[in-house]
Structure 1
């Protein structure tokens, strides 16, 4: 069964390389326009096929939405790619529907991060790289705790129970951290924090 056509405002620019032809075939089957530099930069997702996220980051030469299709995806590589604003998918399990979903997610100006991907990023202890601290606001220990629990899908009442405080306190902490991160909603706050190494 073929995936429904993508919106006409989204296209993919494939960076030539090993594995790019397979991705091109999947993209065309998914109804995505494919091309090179002749596609305008607006609403065009650059797709880089690479062995891992680090190789894809080294190959990245353009601004705008990025999608990395990688043979292996380590938590550290995924984190670095997310900080660069890229969506990462594994090449082995890639389907036309999965490619279409990833392209549309990359094309969105503030993409949300699916829970399995976010969970894998948050579960590792080290946070190499990332932007300078002066560019991103620091969170308090309580704000970080609440943000991690939000990322795990807990509601305010659950967070209050887990942290041993009132639901009113949790609401205040969420308001403060969303203001500090300039986030529009909970998903945006979590995505922003992950990209900037705050959690």
Structure 2
């Protein structure tokens, strides 16, 4: 389900306090990860460090730390666990946690020490709708379909000047990287459709809130 444009799969359990999700894979084993809400809060993730494999992680202690471009956060769990497996792909390419937090961007597999009591603290997101809304509004989080690698905030700038800056930025970034453009130019969307058509870069998403356009584009792969 979506809450304030942040996506939460219905088939998972959540710890809203710690912004984590849990999926049972075998008896007392659970796959875990961070929510799309927390991914958006962190921004582009550049590094993740785990506790040693098979460590015992006490309640409300870090199982790993995540470093993004602007933030450094510890990932805690609401109960005692044993770290069974880590996602090597996330270690190698941390931004996959942003790009696909509920699937390829999972963090780890854990074993619960006290399954019955532990599971009582996890929540069904459908029953936490209002609390999640309050958290999103409190943190002033905007969930986008993709977490951008770069931002262009062009307020009060004519579209011709914005296009010049885009061309300059896209000449420097890597293939597949994503740029978020925020513009108050009323023609921004039309101009970006024209620009992506001409350059063959990909227009991923566009939405207007108030007088601002939020436009996501990705550099072409070839």
TM over 0.5: no
Q: Which of these two proteins has the greater Rg computed from alpha carbons?
A: 2
Q: Which has the higher strand share?
A: 2
Q: Which has the higher helix share?
A: 1
TM-score, structure 1 normalization: 0.30
TM-score, normalising length: structure 2: 0.28
